[in-house]
Amino acid sequence: MNEIFLLKLGEIVLKGGNKRQFENKLRQNIRRRLKPYGEFDVYLLQSTVYVEPQGADADLEGAWEACRSVFGIVSVCRCRACEKNVDAIYETAERYFGEELETVRSFKVESKRSDKSFPLSSIALSQEIGGQLAEAHPSCAVDVHWPAFTVYVEVRDLAAYVHGPAEPGAGGLPTGVGGRAMCLLSGGIDSPVAAYMIAKRGVEIECVHFFSYPYTSEQAKSKVLELARLVCRYSGRMTVNIVPFTQIQEAIRDLCPEEYFTLIMRRFMMEIAQRLAREDGCGALVTGENLGQVASQTMEAMAVTGEAVSLPIFMPLVGMDKEEIVTIARRIGTMETSILPYEDCCTVFTPRHPKTKPTLAQVQRAEQPLAREELIAQALAGVEKLPVRFHDAQYL
């Protein structure tokens, strides 16, 4: 029999009445992710999603990687299915792991049976299969306490399954069960991680990037699209809204006191993001803000920035250390792209002495000379909406 994947459900199993809806969404997400890799049968039984390749030309490695990045799954394993009898299970284990057992010093068999009509108990089945494997591999001892390798046997409704140790899945909740949010995506380290973390909670992600050409280059824009593409590995496809931001930044530079530049700019970003969010049915904004990291991320500054909008602002990184954020960025594969040196629009108009403890009244006074509505309308009129998928060609 072919190799198949077993994906164990995560938090979904704790859901009550709407569990079915979560499961359907998950199955739909997995099917969509597997499309580029050939034909797969995807079905869900007993809190487990089964992924069975159909036909010989399915790309198993690609499909495996895809399954590992789908939210809603806690662990994944590759296994072989066989008939539900001791001989078939032994033969399958031997064919699958015989070579492995020649290279390790000890092993054990661990069995589970959700099909209670199976004649042997889990312990008896483990002993039977373990005994036969030990006989076939005299150099490898059975060690039930500290085995170097574990062979797992699961006797389930449709078949028996033999597999090695499971690997962690992507965790979280299935994309789409938690609504949709608009993520402010810069070219930095933080915002792609923030987008990933909110997506992980079952939220569909759209992105907005504020682009200040020619102060920032076309390459900076490509970098942001590439980061969005990398996040899509987990979140599924998204739309990136590119907002022309130069006019707004120049107006702020020309008409406002320098120490408030960043704060005023950030209030414009939030307001424009909110309008795009409402157009696209997003119920929240997401930023990579992090308490105390820079002058615009003090509690006082965040209060002033947040006041510009009424949608909830999710800041999943707010209480993390940079090191923790970097660890996630490396794990999800965005770090290398984030540290490419192209300028971000915020670095172009950075004040020498930014205000770290602003009050709302000060900032509102500072931004008074600006033709707010007009500037926002112009920026919105120039928005470019770009669909991005993980399987698109790289942007850099």
Tell me how far apart the alpha carbons of residues 26 and 11 are, in angstroms, rounded to a whole number: 12
Write out the residues near Mg ion by the rule CB under 5 A. 186, 188, 344
Judged by beta carbon distances under 5 to 8 A according to partner kind, the member of ligand ATP, Mg ion, none in contact with residue 265 is none
What is the C-alpha to C-alpha distance for residues 274 and 261, in angstroms, rounded to an integer? 20
Stretch of 11-19, 283-291, 354-362, 364-372 lying at the interface with ligand ATP (CB under 6 A): 283-291
Q: Which residue is nearest to ligand ATP (CB)?
A: 188
| Angle subtended at Cα 335 by Cα 333 and Cα 341, rounded to the nearest 5 degrees | 140
Map the footprint of ligand ATP across residues 158-187, applying CB under 6 A: 184-186
Reported residue count of the chain is 396
Total number of residues that touch ligand ATP (CB under 6 A): 21
* Range in contact with ligand ATP (rule: CB under 6 A) among 28-36, 46-54, 90-98, 343-351: 343-351
86/96 Cα distance (integer angstroms): 15
The residue from 58, 189, 256, 284 that contacts ligand ATP (CB under 6 A) is 189
Task: At 315, list the tokens.
Answer: 């800041």
The site partner of 210 among Mg ion, ligand ATP, none (C-beta below 5 to 8 Å per kind) is: ligand ATP
The reply on whether position 204 binds ligand ATP by CB under 6 A is: no
- Residue in 23, 94, 154, 344 binding ligand ATP, rule: CB under 6 A: 344
Closer of 225 and 346 to ligand ATP (Cβ): 346
Please, which residue, 241 or 338, has the CB nearer to Mg ion? 338
Strands 160-163 and 73-82: antiparallel
| Residue from 72, 130, 147, 288 binding ligand ATP (CB under 6 A) | 288
CB nearer to Mg ion: pick between 23 and 289: 289
x/- map, 291-320, ligand ATP, by CB under 6 A: --xx-xx-----------------------
Helix (H, G, I), strand (E, B) or coil at 138: coil
If the CB atoms of residues 89 and 265 are measured against ligand ATP, the closer one turns out to be 265
Instruction: Catalogue the E-assigned strands of the chain.
Output: 3-9, 40-45, 48-53, 73-82, 106-113, 141-142, 149-155, 160-163, 167-171, 180-184, 204-211, 238-244, 284-286, 313-314, 384-388
Strands 204-211 and 180-184: parallel
Q: How far is the CB of 208 from ligand ATP (least distance, A)?
A: 6
Please report, as a single letter, which amino acid is at residue 364: Q
Question: Using the rule CB under 6 A, which residue among 154, 190, 204, 206 binds ligand ATP?
Answer: 190
Closest approach of ligand ATP to the CB of residue 191, in Å = 3
Phi, psi of 209 (to 5 degrees): -125, 135
Count Cβ atoms within 10 A of the Cβ of residue 33 and give its class: 0-12 exposed, 13-18 middle, 19 or more buried. Answer: buried
Q: Is the peptide bond before 174 cis (omega within 30 degrees of 0)?
A: no
345 lines the binding site for ligand ATP (CB under 6 A): yes
**226 part of the interface to ligand ATP, by CB under 6 A:** no
Q: Name the residue among 61, 38, 49, 35 with its Cα closest to residue 6.
A: 49
Residues in contact with ligand ATP by the rule CB under 6 A: 184-186, 188-191, 208-210, 269, 287-289, 293-294, 296-297, 344-346
